[in-house]
Structure 1
């Protein structure tokens, strides 16, 4: 747990209710950065300021636009807030964007807020009390229910000290953010600074970043180095979770990184254009949602058009919740538990939001898969960490430990510990870097046994299958098949003989079609003696395929002492005759020529040369220039 606290404060409220003026009164900083904003007298994009609170907590303040035309800019700044200054002008009270901004904050899971009644100097006390009552009624059932209400005048400064005290009280109560976990920094601005290059800004959601670190820009997947870091305009060597941060990045152009991108620890997070969610429609939404509903999806600083498909309902009414899948036009980079906001496609009003349950769904939702999706998502919502891991695994195994970080919003060390626990309890297995359920391994073991049993039945003269042949036929993870074979060997259900795997106790035998084929093949080989027909020719002569003849050839070599020389087979009797011929020859002469060997066997050079090379390989002869001498094993 980091020792220093950093509070992220956001503003919300209707246009011209005094958000920017309030921030200026609090901090002395004008958050209207653009000329257009100053000319029009309203905030059209995000503005940022900072405030050192009396307790020593550093507060970063995000000023968001209130105008309905710029609601998507507001949404880009509304994530990751510790506390919201919910602003209502005392002379106007609750207005349309007041309601919309409350829906946004509620949908994003905001926990703490202070209602700030601005423009106190424009109304009398009686009117102020009426507005307070209106606000209390308006906030009932939301995170603002029971929140402190502070009345201020940004013009005279009245109430500003009281507001600072309330902010400080919340800051003291707020637990410091955990700077562990992987880096996640959503980009809300990207620009070029002369002499430095590309700079991005955002609120650091998790982890930490140091000067010199390599980071990944997602969704593009580009990796870059951090050249410099600033927090509230000051150069620092490291930024941690909770801080408003500016990063100077190397080897990337301003155009290559935009609002909506994410700066992350390399190699952990995957982009997606599909998420499974728990969605809640605002009670003020003037729509009824059915599957295929078109919408605008806002996650962190990103926005994308998409379609919503209901999983556990046929329609969703205002104020209701449902499980759903949202398919997007553009990629986003979500993590389990992230909040999002949805807007109607047209008119683009805020209609609700929710929580991401599965950031990497294994497939598109279809009505026939309703029960499968419901079961998975219900376990993710209500299950223990163990049950949530298994729910993911059973549908999209294998999963790597790194993927669990995104699927369950874990720190790397938490993911490692979770996997170790599941391994020790025998609920999962790990093959290479991939994690599978124990049931999956048992399924592979069963398939290996069935494959060997079928091989023994269909080809009873075969020794079995090599590990490579099993991998080729099963088309599963090679590491998982190897693990299954090791366990089956350990359990004595299979055995290995000269590189072949077989059911324990199995012995090759001449059965079925092979009962007739083997004697026919042997007869042809024996008849040919030193010039037998090739494997291909044997196939034609006995009326069967080359594959079957090759199987028979392997059987004859392994079980009956035949010798295979390329495409030729020599019987044990014929081979013994060759051995005797060689012994007699070398008892009289030291060398053997090819011509002499041909004459002894009565064969052409076509047969003599491969035979001599085979004899060389066995150590029965040894080549010396163009002749042979007696080998060590003769």
Structure 2
């Protein structure tokens, strides 16, 4: 069970401003992993360290590169941080990547941070005060306005105690990530460990994971087992949201999983090549963004090329916010409310970002759909869970289960079920066959169902009614919701059912005064004329010049309403059946048994007619078969 608070802290700042040296001074861990990093004295890729604050809060620290060439590596580590150590060297002050890193933190929704003035030992007090004032001015209007500014020297250790105290204060204010939701761990590293196999690392955004769990690698959708876990370099049985976590995965090579992939609870999330978003263009962006603008899209640890299409305007000016759709050349696995960053395609610099509103758009945005799109996305922007669920269900009736809102609304499975349950109890939604429908859809469906049956009665007045499969095809709705509507109409007494056939309550088939009046009469005449060698349905259709479908309806009408019998494929009139019974009575007065040959001779028919007819009389008890002969039954 989780017993301690875990937070993730990120560093940000210009190249060579002392981020990595600061982390080593705080934790004793050198986050420069690669030989090239050590040789060049700059962080190229992500580095990780950890420490325990004086209060006992455990902190994972993500050291990100400051050089503009490695900004995409910085973006891979900037997600999921609880607060930032914003590093500015006292001897240089604000520099280009200082601004770019600040923009990244803002668009990713970072709320808290501490400004760390490093290299204090290289400047005098007067200079330090000038830099402080310059930094305060630079941070006005940002999330770091009013944040603590702590001068430190990683070389002498001066200021580190004060920094740790400020980190502890901030840590007490931060709400830890929830372990109640599904597992989401964006992969930022993948490597092989001899004797163990593939290991991936990342910051656990939500949920928890245990040794032995089966998880899903997205976007591929491959399911694998977790063989082992580490948190901050120590083996554990379970890891929780907020922890820097390493997973040892079974039956997968390091080439098959890597940065940009997502480790998640199976069955809840789907990848997408489009996202509908709320997008803010940075006030420092030196461009006007129009639809079709090419960008690098950064979501969690994934980078994908894409194009931005504006929904609520024709152009976006620096500092403005708009609704937009981003179309991507690769797959991402977004969840409602996720933050993202966009960089200009060329030159590749950070120009803005925002949050995901619709993680799974069903179609590309087109100008002719603008009003519809605006209405839908505006609801998503409002953040009311019930309104959003209703909006989705009205847009896609019968296509969404409660579980889909784990991704569409960033809820835990339990929260999704609860929201749906409340809407069902309030009469706003209907849950049928695991899928959701708005209540008005169900009301409309009942009306359409009644109309479809009534229309069928008018088109085929001699038919008993319409079967459920035909209704399903006509109405294009899934079986569960159709059955629900049928049950309700039956209970209301508006329709009745017999043998799977539905009809309006009180409806009686009739040929009089309808198109079928003459064909029915002619069919009766034909059947009477044929006597003991009656026609099949197909023959009736040919003789009357009607379709086989119409002939089938006529036959069903004659059988159900006029006392005709369909034996095998042959249609017998009531008078023919009575004549055969009379022949049988006369025979059994004279003789106790009846052979097939005798029966054929009486009727003057072939075995084709005689055998099915005898079997029919056996089935209704008029005759009883004994070997190859018949004896008298209830005649």
User: What TM-score do you get using the length of structure 2 for normalisation?
Assistant: 0.98
Per-residue CA distance 1:571-591 (angstroms, 9 max, x = gap): 111111122222333344333
Partner residue in 1 for 2:220: 220
Distance 1:602 1:111, change over 3 A: same
> Which residues of 2 match residues 424-573 of structure 1 at below 5 A?
424-510=425-511, 511-573=513-575
Deviation digits for residues 437-488 of structure 1 (CA, Å, limit 9, x no counterpart): 1122122222211211110111111111122221233221111111111111
Of 538-547 and 205-214, more deviation after overlay is shown by: 538-547
Q: What is the deviation of 1:610?
A: 2.2
Where does 1:168-247 land on structure 2 (aligned, <5 Å)?
Answer: 168-247=168-247
Specify whether residues 229 and 2 from structure 1 end up closer, same or farther in structure 2 by C-alpha distance, changes over 3 A only.
closer
Give SS of 2:32's match.
coil
- Residue by residue over 1:57-111, the C-alpha shift from the partner in whole angstroms, topping out at 9 and shown as x without a partner, is 0000000011111111100100010010011111111111111111110000001
Aligned to 2:305: 305
Between 549-558 and 372-381, the greater mean CA deviation after superposition: 372-381
State the SS of the aligned residue for 1:200: strand
Deviates more, 1:133-142 or 1:13-22: 133-142
Instruction: Show the 5 A alignment for 1:596-615.
Output: 596-615=598-617
Mapped contact 1:2–1:176 kept (Cα < 8 A)? no
Q: CA shift at 1:257, angstroms?
A: 0.8
Q: Distance in 2 between matches of 1:182 and 1:266?
A: 9
Deviations for 1:145-203, whole angstroms, at most 9, x for unmatched residues?
A: 11100111111111111111111111122223321111111111111100001111000
Match of 1:55 in 2: 55
Structure 1 CA distance, aligned partners of 2:494 and 2:307?
A: 51
Distance 1:472 1:616, change over 3 A: farther
Once the two structures are overlaid, the 10-residue window that deviates more, 55-64 or 357-366, is 357-366
What SS does the corresponding residue of 1:352 show, helix, strand or coil? strand
Within the alignment, does 1:141 sit opposite 2:135 as a pair?
A: no
1:623 is matched with 625
Hey, what's the Cα distance between the residues in 1 that align with 2:303 and 2:624? 78
Q: CA deviation at 1:565?
A: 2.0
Deviation at 1:383, TM superposition (A): 5.1
- Residue 505 (structure 1) shift: 2.1
Gaps of 5+ in 1: none
Report the Cα offset of residue 619 of structure 1.
Answer: 3.3
Return the alpha-carbon distance in structure 2 between the equivalents of residues 620 and 377 of structure 1.
73
Report which stretch shifted further, 617-626 or 555-564.
Answer: 617-626
SS at match of 1:225: strand
Partner residue in 2 for 1:405: 406
Any idea what SS the aligned residue of 2:616 has?
A: helix
Partner secondary structure for residue 229 of structure 1: strand
Counterpart of 1:593?
595
Gap runs ≥5 in structure 2: none
Query: Are 1:6 and 1:243, in contact at CA under 8 Å, matched by a contact in 2?
Result: yes
Q: Partners in 2 of 1:177 and 1:258 — Cα distance?
A: 24
Q: How many residues align?
A: 633
Query: How far apart are the structure 1 equivalents of 2:170 and 2:80?
Result: 16
**What SS does the aligned partner of 1:409 have?**
coil
Q: Deviations over 1:15-52 (max 9, x none)?
A: 11111111011100000001111121111100000011
CA distance, structure 1, for counterparts of residue 71 and residue 377 of structure 2: 31
- Between the aligned partners of 1:292 and 1:395, the Cα distance in structure 2 is 26
Q: Give the corresponding residue for 1:420.
A: 421
Please, what is the CA RMSD of the aligned residues?
A: 1.4
The answer for the alignment partner of 2:13 in structure 1 is 13
* Match runs of 1:275-286 below 5 Å: 275-286=275-286
Distance 2:24 2:627 in 1: 99
* Rounded Cα–Cα distance in structure 2 between residues aligned with 1:224 and 1:629: 71
Within 1, Cα distance between the matches of 2:409 and 2:592? Answer: 78
Which has the higher mean CA deviation after the structures are superposed, 152-161 or 43-52? 152-161
The equivalences for 1:157-176 within 5 A come to: 157-176=157-176
Offset, 1:601:
0.9
* CA displacement at 1:2 relative to structure 2: 5.2
Distance in 2 (CA, whole Å) between partners of 1:222 and 1:622 is: 65
Q: CA deviation at 1:3?
A: 4.4
Match of 1:315 in 2: 315
Write out per-residue CA displacement over residues 483-518 of structure 1, whole angstroms, 9 at most, x where no aligned residue.
Answer: 111111122221113321111221111142101111
Distance 1:372 1:136 in 2: 44
Look up the match of 1:107: 107
**Partners of 2:589 and 2:263 in 1: how far apart?**
83
Give, in whole Å, the separation in 2 of the partners of 1:582 and 1:472. 47
Report which stretch shifted further, 287-296 or 25-34.
Answer: 287-296
Distance 2:632 2:327 in 1: 77
User: Is 1:72 paired with 2:72?
Assistant: yes
C-alpha separation in 2, matches of 1:21 and 1:423: 57
Name the SS of the counterpart of 2:191 in structure 1: strand
Distance 1:235 1:141, change over 3 A: same
SS of the equivalent of 2:466 reads coil
Q: Which residue matches 2:267? A: 267
SS in 1 for 2:177: coil
Distance in 2, matches of 1:140 and 1:589, equals 116
Distance 2:5 2:285 in 1: 37
> Distance between the aligned counterparts of 2:277 and 2:632, measured in 1?
80
CA distance in 2 between counterparts of 1:499 and 1:44 reads 71
CA distance in 2, matches of 1:406, 1:530: 69
> Which residue is 2:89 aligned to?
89
Distance in 2, Cα, partners of 1:146 & 1:615: 99
